[in-house]
Amino acid sequence: MTGALEVRSLSVDLGGVPVVADVSFSLRAGERLGLIGESGSGKSVTALAIMGLLPEGMRAGGRVELAGEDLVSMGERRLSALRGDRIAMVFQEPLTALNPLMRVGRQVAEVLRIHRGLGRRGAAERALGLLGRVELDDPAGVARAYPHELSGGQRQRVMLAMAVACSPRVLVADEPTTALDVVVQDQVLSLVQRLADEEGSSLLLISHDLAVVARMCERVLVMYGGRLVEEGPTRDILSQPHHPYTAGLVATAAAVSSPSGARRPGSLPALPGSVPPLGRFPSGCVFRDRCWRADRSCEAVPQLCGRDHAVACWHPVGEGAG
């Protein structure tokens, strides 16, 4: 059985500099999959590559299969027909995601008019229903409003309504709650989860926040330097991370959330160094310049190995020498 979305050896380069390299994963039907990593690790570029929305200058290679069709080699016309209908995306920044000159209702209706061929009135009615489903208090009022009259949380709900309007098989959410405040974050996450369930959409949730992924996703992919370094069930990865990078992430997050160690400044464990700029990643294992376990063997690129819980590392944590 193939998944809802099959990503095979996806790579993206920007003028010859690799941004994403050899990313393969499968998003199963109805699954909620997390993609986690620091800023600059290539998460968002991966999402844009899947959607065929890479900015000018970036080129994708490999395959992204949606129901047997390869999105990477697909023409723009066919891709437009699939986007919003079979595969949809929610972006990070809701404040600028809506056309400032169009009433919100009309923008939601637009999705239905494109893909369902609905007339103005029919689409407007369905849009109203969608705005209600994303738990907006006054759907009719929101539909009449211009984007600047809505709050960030309201706008992100509108974006969600647009994304699920056609019950897509795959919903890509790129940091959907990062720009929102904590209370709203929580509500929006619950909403994403509920809508994905109701529509039967598989969810690819991109985040840099372990807590968000832990709460939402059954499985998680860890990305660093444009490569997948670890993949597995969320519970396993959080309790027994194998890749030193993941281990560092988890330790940092755990220290911050534990009440005892949290308040003392300077006591937080941190990953040494920072993410290098694009094109400055080391050859071989991309993490080896920040890794305390690196040696000569790390000069070769490690492959993602393991069946259920896979890791791309020559010296995984917790196996052999801990």
Interface residue list for another protein (CB under 8 A): 38-39, 51, 53, 56, 76-77, 80-85, 88-89, 91, 93, 95-102, 110-111, 114-115, 148, 159, 162-163, 165, 178-179, 186, 208-211, 214-215, 238, 249, 252-254, 256-257, 271
* Residue 89 vs 136, nearer CB to another protein: 89
Least CB distance from residue 164 to another protein, whole Å?
11
Least CB distance from residue 72 to another protein, whole Å?
16
Least CB distance from residue 103 to another protein, whole Å?
12
* Residue 22 vs 174, nearer CB to another protein: 174
Residue 129: HSE in the Cβ half-sphere, 13 Å Cα cutoff:
10
> What is the C-alpha to C-alpha distance for residues 213 and 184, in angstroms, rounded to an integer?
16
* Residue 111 vs 310, nearer CB to another protein: 111
The CA-atom distances, in angstroms, between 212 and each of 249, 265, 273 are: 14, 24, 24
Least CB distance from residue 155 to another protein, whole Å?
11
Least CB distance from residue 322 to another protein, whole Å?
22
SS (H, E, C) 96-137: HCCCCCCCHHHHHHHHHHHHCCCCHHHHHHHHHHHHHHCCCC
- Rounded to the nearest 10 degrees, the angle between the axes of helix 152-164 and helix 182-199 is 10
* Residue 95 vs 300, nearer CB to another protein: 95
Q: Which amino acid would we find at residue 235?
A: R
The CA-atom distances, in angstroms, between 278 and each of 145, 225, 272 are: 41, 8, 18
Q: Which amino acid would we find at residue 139?
A: P
* Residue 29 vs 253, nearer CB to another protein: 253
